Amino acid sequence: MYLVGYLRTISLDNLINFVMIFALLLTLGIVAPQAEAARAFFVFGDSLVDNGNNNYLATTARADAYPYGIDYPTRRATGRFSNGLNIPDLISEQIGSEPTLPYLSPELTGQKLLVGANFASAGIGILNDTGIQFVNIIRISKQLQYFKQYQQHVSALIGPQQTQRLVNEALVLMTLGGNDFVNNYYLVPFSARSRQFALPDYVIYIISEYRKILVRLYKLGARRVLVTGTGPLGCVPAELAQHSIAGECAVELQRAAALFNPQLVQMLNGLNSELGSHVFIAANAYEMHMDWISNPQAYGFVTSKVACCGQGPYNGIGLCTIASNLCPNRDIYAFWDPFHPSERANRLIVQQIMTGSSKYMNPMNLSTIVELDSRV
């Protein structure tokens, strides 16, 4: 307003000079144009990436009560299986975006839809029979249906062409697989799946099913997809509590991860070759975790075996509740609860997603993706 009043009082020559100087400053980057909106971000998967969808469902797979969220900015439980921020929150932070809202949140309307959405649901896996004990969870097929529904909502807001562009240019995170072992194959002795398949054959089967999911995601418009492998399943406090004598990782679950992860990378590379583009990016969650599991002190943790919140050996039995043992300083514990990393451990994981070498990210890290996509 003041600028408009000033422009009315100056001569034509001065006005021309003013415009030329302003254009020069703009060219030099001293006066910034309005920032472009951050790319949309979509999240699919299980409890490692759920931002609170299960809060809206009748299920036991929920993190909606204290002490979950004890270090979150609001100091309240949000449905994240963390003491604070989880991996999607930290990726949003890195790409300059707002955190994605859960798809089931009533707040996800209007312009907030353009930020993206989190479709993840704790307890799910690649297979529909994974997590059946949690009853009412959003299985991956339903998450993809919701993604299609989301696009219809956005089309009504900005039109189909702009919606397609938003989805094509978006970043997508997919985190699946761990529950297909922990909450399916190894859930109980002689489980239905373990009687149906020997472990190597089961891995081949779930990789083939995972491929179908990723092809469906591609058909729905996803063009940059971070796919995380499983972490060291046998090293989490819940498994140590059940299977470890002296703190060693559970052998069978480690074997499962060792079979699954290389085959996942091979499958992703094959898909990329077929598509003629680096659509799917493999994030080696196993190596990212093993760095601080095998040498916690080097990363500022006092332990990578005992959970901050829990009970029993390694605080690995049952759920994290108000009655659980609770550590006073979450930053020095690698695991928050019997299954999930602390916020600080999540930050280390996201740091490797952003800048990690080919040991962690294949064929490139997220910083490289952002740089490449900014040139398009």
Please write the tens of the pLDDT for every residue from 191-236.
999 999 999 999 999 999 999 999 999 999 999 999 999 999 999 9
Could you give the CA distance from residue 318 to residue 108 in angstroms, rounded to a whole number?
A: 33
Model-level pTM? 0.90
Residue 112 pLDDT? 97
Percent of the chain exceeding pLDDT 90 equals 89
243 is catalytic: no
CA atoms within 13 A on the CB side of 193: 24
**41: three-class secondary structure by DSSP:** strand
Q: Is the dihedral of CA 12, 13, 15, 19 positive or negative?
A: positive
Residue 123 pLDDT? 98
Could you give the CA distance from residue 291 to residue 308 in angstroms, rounded to a whole number?
A: 19
pLDDT higher than threshold 70 for residue 4: no
Confidence of residue 376 (pLDDT cuts 50, 70, 90): confident
**300: three-class secondary structure by DSSP:** coil
pLDDT higher than threshold 60 for residue 1: no
Q: 176-186 pLDDT, tens per residue?
A: 999 999 999 99
Please pick, among 46, 47, 50, 289, the residue that the annotation labels catalytic: 47
Q: Please provide the size of the chain in residues.
A: 376
Cα first-last separation, the chain: 36
Phi, psi of 362 (to 5 degrees): -135, 125
> Do you find a cis peptide bond into 363, omega within 30 degrees of 0?
yes
pLDDT higher than threshold 60 for residue 19: no
Please pick, among 89, 92, 244, 340, the residue that the annotation labels catalytic: 340
Residue 11 pLDDT? 47
CATH code, residues 36-374: 3.40.50.1110
Could you give the CA distance from residue 35 to residue 133 in angstroms, rounded to a whole number?
A: 46
Q: Is the dihedral of CA 264, 270, 274, 276 positive or negative?
A: positive
Q: 225-268 pLDDT, tens per residue?
A: 999 999 999 999 999 999 999 999 999 999 999 999 999 999 99
Could you give the CA distance from residue 127 to residue 123 in angstroms, rounded to a whole number?
A: 11
337 is catalytic: yes
Question: In this structure, what token pair is assigned to residue 82?
Answer: 């963390």
In the chain, where the domains are located: 36-374
Q: 322-370 pLDDT, tens per residue?
A: 999 999 999 999 999 999 999 999 999 999 999 999 999 999 999 999 9
Please pick, among 50, 180, 337, 342, the residue that the annotation labels catalytic: 337
In this structure, how many other beta carbons lie within 10 angstroms of the beta carbon of residue 26?
A: 12
244 is catalytic: no
